[in-house]
Amino acid sequence: MRANEVIIFSDMDGTLLTDWSMGPYVPSVNLEAIKRFISDGGMFSIASGRQFRETLDFFGEIKFPVPMVQDNGSVIYDSVKREVLQKTVLPEKVKLECMDYSRQKKGLWLIAADENDIYQVLTGDKSWDASLNDFRRKPISADEYLSREFVKVCFVIEDPDALSSVADDIRNFKNADEIRLMQSSPVFLEILEKSAGKAAAVTEAVRLAGAEGRKLVCIGDYDNDCDMLDLADIAACPSNASPHVLEMADIVTCSNNEGAIADLIRQLGL
C-alpha cells in the first residue's frame, strides 16, 4: 500500500492532540509525519468535535487536501478554499427542548456551538455560571441562544455518574426522533440533527475530494468516533482509547501523548 492510495481522517482530542494537562498541542512527530504523508501523495484530514478555526490554529501552514469534518459531523470545511461546504443546523424545536431541560435539571450546563465558536448559555445564577470557566466558551444569554442557529448543543454533566440518567432523559425527549445523541467524553453528551455524524460527513468529504477509490483509514479514541471507525476500511485508535473503541480497532497505536498519528502512518507502512 502506497501513500497515494490512502486517505486518513483523524480525531483531535485524545487522538492527534496531547492531553489537556499538557496543552493540548500536536506532538512534533505527528506534524512531521502528516507533512511527509501528504507530500508523498497521501490525503489527510480531520474529523473532530471542534470548530474549524481552533482546529486550524494547531497546524500552522498545513492545509488539508481533503475537506475537514468539524462539530462531530455537522460542518464540512475546506481549509484550502476557506469556506464552509456543508452545515447541518439543529432544529428549532430541539434547541428549545434542550433549553427547557437545562432549566429543569440540576447539575448540568448547556453549551451550544455554531460553525465558528462555542458558547456557554448563562443561567442567571452567577456562582453556577462561573463554575464552568472555560476560555473557549463565549457567554450568551438564554435569549441569544434562542435567537441563533446552532449546529449542536452539549450538556456538560457535573457528576459523571449521572450521565447515563441524563442520556435516558434525552432519549425520551418529545423530539428524540429528530436528533443524534452521542457521548464525547465522560461528562459530555452532544446533540446533533439526526442526519449528522462523523461517518456521514466523512463519506461526503471523501466524495468531495474525489477520493472514493482510496483506502479509508480512520483513527479516534471515544464513542463519538465509533460510526466513523465502523465506516473505515482500517479502523485505528490510540492506546488510551475507551474500551469499546479498543475492541473496534484493527490497529492500536501508542498513546495520544506519544504521537499516535505518526505511529499509525508507520504501522501502515507509509
CATH number assigned to the domain covering 3-87+196-267: 3.40.50.1000
Q: Which of 120-124, 143-147, 210-214 has the lowest mean pLDDT?
A: 120-124
**Does the pLDDT of residue 239 top 60, yes or no?**
yes
C-alpha span between 263 and 265 (Å, rounded): 5
For residues 236-241, give the mean pLDDT.
98
pLDDT of residue 122: 82
**Does the pLDDT of residue 131 top 80, yes or no?**
no
Residue 173 contacts by C-beta under 8 Å, 6 or more apart in sequence? 94, 97, 101, 179
Q: Under the phi-then-psi rule, with left for phi > 0, alpha for psi from -120 to 50, and beta for the rest, what region is 195?
A: alpha
For residues 61-71, give the mean pLDDT.
92
CATH number assigned to the domain covering 92-193: 3.30.1240.10
For residues 224-235, give the mean pLDDT.
97
For residues 245-256, give the mean pLDDT.
98
pLDDT of residue 139: 87
Inter-residue contact 55 to 48 (CB < 8 Å): yes
Task: Please give the sequence-ordered ranges of beta strands (E in DSSP) within 23-117, or none if there are none.
Answer: 43-46, 68-70, 75-78, 83-87, 108-113
Q: What is the 3-state secondary structure (H, E, C) of 229-253?
A: HHHCCEEEEECCCCHHHHHHCCEEE
pLDDT of residue 63: 86
The residue extents of the domains of the chain are 3-87+196-267, 92-193
SS3 96: helix
pTM above 0.85, yes or no: yes
